[in-house]
Amino acid sequence: MPNQPMLSFTKSGIFCQQGGFYIDPWLPVDKAIITHAHSDHARWGNQSYLCHTHTKPLLQLRLGEINVEAMNWGENKIINGVQVSLHPAGHIIGSSQIRLEYKGKIWVVSGDYKVADDGISGVFEPVPCHHFVTESAFGLPIYRWEKQEIIYQQIRDWVLQNKANGFSSVLLAYSLGKAQRVIDCLAPLELPIFAHGAIANAQEKLIGAGFHLPAVTRVPTAEQLSTASEKKALKESLVVAPPSVDGSNWLKQFGPSKMASCSGWMQVRGNVRRRNLDAGFVLSDHADWEGLLTAVKATGASRVFVTHGFQSAFSRYLNENGIESHEIATDYGTTEAEE
């Protein structure tokens, strides 16, 4: 059919019929192109994977022995006549937008992204296109981020205050992406940084892949804590852990502690109280309201497809402001599903 769109939204994921591949499929398929290594976008069971060079070791860490091919940003690959290239998304290390061109029509699937440069994840690159597929995780006007260095200083001040008062500091951050930023934020304090095993695994994998990231100390298991001095070292310590440890016995080994979450959801102050946290820092790996609008407008796209998040609100705003927009149902999760 001559007017058939290049991409369709199917029960298995975003499908390119001409190319014979899917982008971030949520059910197993033969050929998958992956925007980034978070679990709701990169799932086990596909016959083959194509991703950015920096994403490859993270996929192997998460998914084990898989058939994976890697590309660099800006490199072109022709798949059944469809020109495919990857471009920085700025979400986490290796995160990419997927650009597809066929018979003069250009689609871009952005995956998850943020437009502010965090110094680690690559700088978001607007890619001109006719059709743009965008997330909307924080697609409401209330979500507007402070500059990263302001948040970083707030985190460091909080840690130092806790230390002066005899408390450990436990910072909750997603193991892949957010944790690397939090560790980078804490490095100037020149204090030992203990990391939960999931975070230590990701940090070690990235350092092994050539990234210049601060080293961390893996939190030892109970069996590994053989001496009193080792146990004492965990008291009044600095700990980075995934949100899943909240409320668990794992936290007791750090003695009296204060706990904070690093998340865009902390923009709503009531979330700190409801989660019984001592502090919340508004640090997100997703674009805020202005970032989403900036990205959409920069593409020059005539049609926009809005996926997971505040789809209805963001899509309605685009339509009311002269940009044709459509809501698309996907199986991508909220930001919690990135864990």
Quickly list DSSP for 288-320.
Answer: -HHHHHHHHHHHT-SEEEEEEESHHHHHHHHHH
Provide the pLDDT confidence category of residue 1 given band limits of 50, 70 and 90.
very low
Q: How much is the pLDDT for 2?
A: 52
Query: What topology is assigned to 148-281 in CATH?
Result: Rossmann fold (3.40.50)
User: Would the pLDDT of 274 be above 50?
Assistant: yes
Q: Could you give the strand order of the β-sheet that contains 279-281, starting from the edge strand earlier in sequence?
A: 217-218, 193-195, 238-241, 168-172, 257-262, 279-281
Q: How much is the pLDDT for 234?
A: 84
Q: How much is the pLDDT for 228?
A: 55
Average pLDDT of the residues in 22-50: 97
Judge contact between 215 and 184, C-beta under 8 A: no
Measuring CA to CA, which residue among 335, 315, 338 is closest to residue 132?
Answer: 315
Note the pLDDT tens digit of each residue in 303-325.
999 999 999 999 999 999 999 99
Judge contact between 13 and 115, C-beta under 8 A: no
Measuring CA to CA, which residue among 169, 233, 231, 179 is closest to residue 205?
Answer: 179
Q: How much is the pLDDT for 227?
A: 60
Provide the pLDDT confidence category of residue 224 given band limits of 50, 70 and 90.
low
Residue 125 CB neighbours (<10 A): 18
Beta pairing partners, 132: 108, 304
Measuring CA to CA, which residue among 42, 105, 288, 262 is closest to residue 173?
Answer: 262
Measuring CA to CA, which residue among 93, 17, 55, 40 is closest to residue 31?
Answer: 17
**In terms of pLDDT, which residue wins out, 5 or 13?**
13
Q: How much is the pLDDT for 339?
A: 47
Q: How much is the pLDDT for 26?
A: 96
Q: What is the DSSP string of 122-187?
A: --------SEEEEEETT-STT--PPPHHHHHHHHHHHHHHHHHTT-EEEEE--TTTHHHHHHHHHG
Question: H-type helices in 187-277, by residue range?
Answer: 197-208, 228-233, 270-274
Domain locations in the chain as residue ranges: 7-142+286-338, 148-281
Query: What topology is assigned to 7-142+286-338 in CATH?
Result: Metallo-beta-lactamase; Chain A (3.60.15)
